[in-house]
Amino acid sequence: MKIACLSMDDPSAFVIDDPLAHAELRRRGIAVDIVPWRRPSDWSIYDLVIIRTPWDYQDAPQTFVDTLRAIERSGATLCNPLSVVQWNLTKTYLRDLAAAGLPIVPTRWFEHGAGLSDIEQAFSDFGAEQVVVKPLVSANADHTYWLQASDWQAKYPAIDAIFRDRPCMTQPFVETVLNEGEWSLFYFDHAYSHAIRKLPKPGDFRVQEEHGAEILAADAPDGLRSLAVAALDCAPAHLLYARVDFLMDAQAGPLLIELELIEPSLYFRMHADAPRAFADAVEQAAVASNRGRVG
């Protein structure tokens, strides 16, 4: 069995746990190649191509989708499937989760960019002193702004340069992220694996370790796990891997903020059994892939 894990040309700026999973896969006799997604490759030589750490795809999302389409055409099984990626690529998928009854952060959507009056209106609509504005296609908290009602207009020229013609969204800022952090729950082959809490560094709101956040192993409450399963059920195809992110709002309770199905960091280092659980799921996916090829 041979698999490719999609990465990027230069991942050196990121914390990547995937070598722990690669070691477990290779221990089982599975050949693993790490392939930058922009590199021309013969995808047909692989049983599976798993989207893992292409953490610059948001800079060229259509080119990324074109690469994934070529992988599916090659006969290799893409995990997660292209249908999932296309649904999950734009944060408007959160509308589907809300329509299914899942609690999300209140959101205003701007398909053609947001101007001064749009952002100003967000403070009024949400009745909030703080809001967040971010692109509809984004990763790593790129171009995500935390704005205060008292001084945000001073930052507007920089914001306008990013969002004048770019689809984006605004949300009220959920202040509990500053001291309680963000919960992330991980699933392999739709089975729960582990959870973490991510605490931003003082003065920041971003929860990635690349921005100085602290990562803590955690035991996810049953309520979060049931919400996570309901979110996974909204996906358009079966999932090899998934990460479901929550904030705990002081009044509203848990709010689902992201369903990460494309290239989530899976934090294998935070749970001893996580590499094994991932490898189990990969083996099952490979068996199904080979069955499909023979059939």
The CATH class that applies to domain 2-80+273-294 reads: alpha beta
What Cα–Cα distance (Å) separates residue 259 from each residue in 44, 91, 223, 246, 247? 29, 9, 16, 9, 12
- What is residue 291's predicted lDDT score, i.e. its pLDDT? 52
Quickly name the fold that domain 112-172 has.
Answer: Dna Ligase; domain 1 (3.30.1490)
**Residues 63 and 6 sit within 8 Å (Cβ to Cβ):** no
User: Is pLDDT above 50 for 294?
Assistant: no
What Cα–Cα distance (Å) separates residue 154 from each residue in 149, 172, 189, 288? 11, 19, 47, 55
**Residues 48 and 282 sit within 8 Å (Cβ to Cβ):** yes
The CATH 3.30.1490 portion of the chain extends over 112-172
CA distance 242 to 236: 13
The CATH 3.40.50.20 portion of the chain extends over 2-80+273-294
Query: Model confidence over 210-262: pLDDT tens digits?
Result: 889 999 999 998 899 999 999 999 999 999 999 999 999 988 899 999 999 99
Mean pLDDT taken over the chain: 93
Quickly name the fold that domain 93-104+176-266 has.
Answer: D-amino Acid Aminotransferase; Chain A, domain 1 (3.30.470)
**Residues 241 and 187 sit within 8 Å (Cβ to Cβ):** yes
Share of the chain above pLDDT 70, in %: 97
User: Is pLDDT above 70 for 184?
Assistant: yes
How many other CB atoms sit within 10 Å of the CB of residue 212? 14
